[in-house]
Structure 1
Amino acid sequence: MTEAARHEAVARTGPAPSHTGGGTAAPSAPGHHPAEQPPARRRTGATAPGPCPETRPDGGLHDGPAAHSGHPGPEPGRGRGPGRVPILMYHSVSANPTPATRSLSVTPAAFARQLAQLAEDGFTTTTISGLLAARQAQPGAGEQARRLVALTFDDGYADAHSTVLPLLRRHGFTATVFVTTGWIRDAGRGVDVGGRLAPMLRWGQIAELHQEGIEIGAHTCTHPQLDQLPTRTLRHELEHSRAVLEDRLGAPVSTLAYPYGYHSARVRDAVREAGYLASCAVRGAVSRPGEDPFALPRLTVRRDTGPELFRRLVTARRLPAAVWRDRAVTAGYLVVRRGRSVWGRVCDQ
């Protein structure tokens, strides 16, 4: 399965197994690029809740009568309940995406319409760190929190700077960009891991995004399936990507997005220990107060997300019945992944 197919699969149900690939300088899962050597470890403490039960990285909301009733949906922010916030997951925003990113890209025109729709409906954007801070300051927030929406962008495509940033500026919006450090265009010798799916951000562009108030989060070094990695390689992916970003930006990096949305209790524990305060999965649900901050659910926005479906995402109207079929496939494959993960831990001992 190609890298593009994996991205498409996780947006719907979850990715396919990785290919068998070459060796690495450090222990790595099959098919992943070699991780760069870590600099001196930089660790900052973080107080976080304890482990939560196993979380599935599903790709859609539950179906229900509201999806087929034909009646207009609730007013923006009215259908989600106090403090519930949609976290939208984007990848590339491009009129001419590469074949590898097309299915999970949106056009600049569509993205501009989506931002205009959010502005017209009275939404305010927030970063992932901002969402956590708002919930800590105002638990069970009311009307203002119900109008919050978080925009996130995975991988670190160059259009986050060239296309997304100007459109965000137009509305005074913000976002979180999760960067795969080994894919940065000028990552540098010994850091570049190749495997880019499209033109990626340069360090200068990442710095400008940061200066403009866009949150920069980590997305590992090589974009592996974290739940399949040996513990030593898992820690390297989490700790080194964060350290590289902090060193270059001169600012704390406290959030992470799981590549492909895959995580487990072991992965979440490692994320806490690496000093992060929150991490994003996929799961196709609206974020709620009191949930595990290391398994924040997100809603996928892709090329075929039209205006009505986009409104359903941000107002928490239920999605079509096809989601149930996708979840059935995910449930079957999840059994396989858990078995592979257990075997990997046995081999790691």
Structure 2
Amino acid sequence: MYHAVTHTPTPSIRALSVPPETFADQMWLLAKRGFTPVTTARLAAAWRGGPPLPHRPVLITFDDGYQGVHHYALPVLREFGFAATVYVTTGWLRGRHEICGAALDTMLDWEEVRELAAAGAEIGGHTHSHPQMDQLPDSELEYEVQRCREIIAERLGSPPESFAYPYGYSSRRVRQAVRTAGFAQSVAVGNALADPRQGPFALRRVTVRRGTRPEELARLAEGRAVGRTFATDRALTKGYTLVRRSRWLIRKGAGADV
């Protein structure tokens, strides 16, 4: 799970950004180790009984839709013939549907999104305004998912199949809303390798940070040291999940629009 690929990230996304040269080194090492990147849709289709996955499959995803994915990541992906999935927050992208002042850095415009799609990248949904979905009333939750899907379909000519939860936050209610909207699969975070037992609407990913070295990324892709690397993250996530569930129940009990 990547976010921004850039030399000069804003402070708000610095920790989740990767310098272009580091990204190139990481992709080179994945190619050297014999990995074959696939899209999220290809992965889910294989696990539903479709065409089998290639040798050593790996999922390369980008959340939010930062411009560096086009400027810096795309040439590298083309060089190695790598597939990827780009999850776009439609209200953050530059253009007619943009929510002014909402984006955290310079985002893709729709021409760049189309170029990514033409190069073989899967374009997935990531809501319209990047909210914490598990805290939204039902009406807002439905809007965020449907509006995002409608805009992507309008701009690219076909609706997206895959979805990513902002911040990785989801719940049974959120996952059902994504399914009802017409998405076929979705990804969370979890900082663990994806596994068919997780179900198509809760596939896990491993976070790539600014300090993730190419050798470390290759080890994580191979499933080595994942638990040790993200032990603290997992503990915090479990605790915060309980807090978020409690907040939702309190709102629901108070008669909020759910």
- Give the structure-1-normalised TM-score: 0.70
SS at 2:4's partner residue?
coil
**1:205 counterpart = 2:100:** no
Q: CA deviation at 1:312?
A: 1.8
Equivalent residue number for residue 18 of structure 1: none
Residue 89 of structure 2 contacts residue 129 of structure 2 at CA under 8 Å; is this kept in 1? Answer: yes
> What CA distance in whole angstroms lies between the structure 2 residues aligned with 1:267 and 1:304?
32
Q: Which has the higher contact order (CA 8 A, sep 6+)?
A: 1
CA offsets, 1:248-291, max 9 Å, x none?
A: 10012111100000000110111111111011100011111243
Evaluate the alpha carbon distance shift between residue 291 and residue 306 of structure 1 in structure 2; reply closer, same or farther with a 3 A threshold: same
1:163 to 2:72 alignment: yes
Q: 1:125: Cα distance to partner?
A: 0.8
State the partner residue of 2:203. Answer: 296
Structure 2 equivalent of residue 325 of structure 1: 232
Distance in 2 between residues matched to 1:273 and 1:237, nearest whole Å: 13
SS, match of residue 179 in structure 2 = helix
* 1:214-269 per-position Cα deviation (integer Å, ceiling 9, x unaligned): 11001101100000000000000001100110011001211110000000011011
Alpha-carbon spacing, 1:180–1:342, altered in 2? closer, same or farther (3 Å): same
* 1:107 counterpart residue number: 19
- Equivalent in the alignment of 1:120: 32
Q: 2:213 aligns with which of 272, 291, 306?
A: 306
How far residue 97 of structure 1 moved from its aligned partner, in angstroms, is 1.4
Give the Å deviation of 1:344: 2.8
Task: Supply the distance in 2 between the matched residues of 1:322 and 1:119 (Cα, whole angstroms).
Answer: 23
Cα distance between partner residues in 1 of 2:4 and 2:193: 22
RMSD (CA atoms)? 1.7
CA gap of 1:122–1:302, structure 2 versus 1, over 3 A, is same
Q: Contact 1:229/1:344 (CA < 8 Å) preserved in 2? A: no
- The letter of the residue matching 1:329 is L
Which residues of structure 2 form unaligned runs of 5+? none
Contact 1:93 1:111 in 2 (8 A): yes
Match of 2:90 among 178, 181, 189: 181
Tell me the equivalent position of 1:260: 167
User: 2: distance between equivalents of 1:290 and 1:333?
Assistant: 23
TM norm structure 2: 0.93
Matched, 1:133 2:40: no
Deviation at 1:146, TM superposition (A): 5.0
* Stretch of structure 1 that moved more, 307-316 or 157-166: 307-316
8 A Cα contact 1:187 1:203, kept in partner: no
Aligned to 1:334: 241
Identity of aligned residues (%): 48
Structure with the larger helix share: 2
What code does the residue aligned with 1:245 have? I
Q: Give yes or no for the alignment of 1:194 onto 2:129.
A: no
Aligned counterparts of 2:48 and 2:230: Cα–Cα separation in 1 = 33
Distance 2:235 2:246 in 1: 18
What amino acid sits opposite 1:331 in the alignment?
A: K
Instruction: State the structure with more CA Rg.
Output: 1
Q: Distance in 1 between matches of 2:155 and 2:50?
A: 33
Give the direction of change, closer, same or farther, for the CA distance of 1:187–1:123 in structure 2 (3 Å limit): same
User: Within 2, Cα distance between the matches of 1:226 and 1:193?
Assistant: 21
Give the distance between the partners of 2:37 and 2:235, measured in 1 at CA.
33
Question: 1:239-278 maps to which residues of 2 (within 5 A)?
Answer: 239-278=146-185
How many angstroms apart in 2 are the aligned matches of 1:125 and 1:263?
Answer: 26
- Relative to 1, partners in 2 of residues 1:138 and 1:210: Cα closer, same or farther, differing over 3 Å? closer
Question: Which AA in structure 2 matches 1:264?
Answer: S
Task: State the distance in 2 between where 1:116 and 1:214 align.
Answer: 18
Instruction: Give 3-state SS (helix, strand or coil) of 2:230's partner.
Output: helix
Distance 1:338 1:193 in 2: 31
Q: Which residue of 2 aligns with 1:82?
A: none
Q: CA deviation at 1:107?
A: 0.8
Looking at structure 2, the residues matched to 193 and 279 of structure 1 have their Cα atoms a distance apart, in angstroms, of 27
- The 4+ residue runs of structure 1 with deviation greater than 4 A are none
SS of the equivalent of 1:300 reads coil
